[in-house]
Amino acid sequence: MNVTLYFRASLFVFSALHSLCFIYANDQSSPAPPLSPEDSIATMKIQPGYSLTPVLAEPQIHEPTAIAWDGNGRMYVVEMRSYMQEIDGNNQLEPVSRVSRHEDTDGDGIYDKHTIFADNLSLPRMVLPLLDRVIIRETNTFDLKSYQDTNDDGVADKIEMWHEGGDRGGNLEHQPSGLIWNIDNWLYTTYSAHRYRCTDGDVIREPLSHGSGQWGLTHDDEGRIFYSTAGGENPAMDFQRPIVYGKFSLPGEQVEGFRECFPIDNVPDVQGGRGRVRDDNSLNRFTGCCGQSIYRGDRMPADFSGNLIIPEPVGRLVRRAKVINDEGRIVVANAYENEEFIAAKDANFRPVNSATGPDGCLYIVDMYRGIIQEGNWVREGSYLRGIVQKYDLDKNIGRGRIYLSLIHI
């Protein structure tokens, strides 16, 4: 994609999306109505000099949770289309989810060709373009499947078992995710105490001494993997050295107060209840941290390189963290004092993933929905269920946005 044309195309993007506003127009009867992408951006506090531009939105995508690109710059979007479609979370494992593929065919920076690459999936949670295929894993399994588009129509027509791992149970929030290709030529996921490698067409699974993380993982230029856990309320962990050498942490690896976050919204829909919000109802610490990425592109300022990007969907914000080598000890620190890189007042802004694109830009995956916690935590009688009902958060489903972040030129 020609990145320099993003700015020229911005007005066209907003105009085109605005013309679709009837699809996701404001429902003024709701206390937390869904907004168009441009109206949602208008509620955000973005650090000076930076901007967000929507490059994909509903109706092309619904419930996006992860993205990846192949060697031709085509974006693959994981769409969890059955996730929490009503307050009780019924039928979430129905095979109606998918991975879609999106292309910019004319080089203007806008994704204009959309296909359903892999359909009828049960809550897919991993996607990795690898050589001539795309590796996908669904929920409740360790199986990794290979999807190939042999006739170049944008739809996978050859599906094979790539690695047979067997069944995997448990709550869908507590299952492996990620699948990243590290610089050591091994593939890593969260939770699992093993890693994968493809050699001469064979997939090797090698045990690790430890597994870590929850939703999403990333690595830096030295191969250190940065994990996080929403359940443990820890936005950055186990990054001191490559996980293959075992889990290892050091005192002071997070600067004092790093886990405190600074939202600008006031909808207290947090699993931890009143103990996790301030007097103004804003989230007081990370609790939904996920989908982190180390920025490894060249379209941001030089001091952005190697920074850790941490989405926080419960707080409706994105943290930019400095990664500092303090005489061999790796330390993470908020890049801003008592502020975030991006924060929104829009109650439906749900950043769940981030990535560096092949164009060198930073991308943010916004699931854009009301409920963000799985049904196990929104049961009858729970604090969270009362908040969901008060703000009609269960009413906003079937949307989603992918944003591109750039420095102003």
Q: Does domain 5-407 have CATH number 3.90.1150.10?
A: no
Residue 26 pLDDT level (bands cut at 50, 70, 90): very low
Tokens of 278: 């301030």
C-alpha–C-alpha distance, residues 217 and 188, integer Å: 8
Mean pLDDT (whole number) for 113-123: 98
Most confident residue range from 21-25, 245-249, 399-403: 399-403
Q: Work out whether the CA dihedral 26, 309, 252, 208 comes out positive or negative.
A: positive
Location of structure tokens 């599906």: 159
C-alpha–C-alpha distance, residues 384 and 287, integer Å: 14
Who's near 242: CB < 8 A, 6+ residues apart?
A: 182, 184, 223, 224, 225
Mean pLDDT (whole number) for 102-123: 93
C-alpha–C-alpha distance, residues 30 and 396, integer Å: 10
The SS3 call for residue 220 is coil
C-alpha–C-alpha distance, residues 293 and 307, integer Å: 8
Q: Is the pLDDT of residue 27 over 60?
A: no
Share of the chain above pLDDT 70, in %: 92
Asked if residues 99 and 124 have their Cβ atoms less than 8 Å apart, the reply is yes
Strand (E) or helix (H) holding 294 = strand 293-294
Count other Cβ atoms within 10 Å, centred on residue 62. 21
DSSP string, 86-148: STT-TTTTSS-EEEEEEE-SSSSSS--EEEEEEEEESS--EEEEETTEEEEE-TTB--EEEEE
pLDDT digits (tens, 9 = 90+) for 281-324: 999 999 999 999 999 999 999 999 999 999 999 999 999 999 99
Share of the chain above pLDDT 90, in %: 88
Report the pLDDT value the prediction gives residue 107, as an integer from 0 to 100. 83
Phi, psi angles (nearest 5°) of residue 383: -60, -45
Report the pLDDT value the prediction gives residue 222, as an integer from 0 to 100. 93
Report the pLDDT value the prediction gives residue 7, as an integer from 0 to 100. 38
pLDDT digits (tens, 9 = 90+) for 394-409: 999 999 999 999 876 5
C-alpha–C-alpha distance, residues 245 and 227, integer Å: 15
Mean pLDDT (whole number) for 196-215: 93
Q: Is the pLDDT of residue 21 over 50?
A: no
Q: Nearest to residue 269, comparing CAs of 386, 399, 400?
A: 386
Query: Which residue would you say has higher pLDDT here, 348 or 29?
Result: 348
Q: Is the pLDDT of residue 346 over 80?
A: yes
Q: Is the pLDDT of residue 71 over 80?
A: yes
Query: Which residue would you say has higher pLDDT here, 157 or 17?
Result: 157
**What mean pLDDT value characterizes the chain?**
92
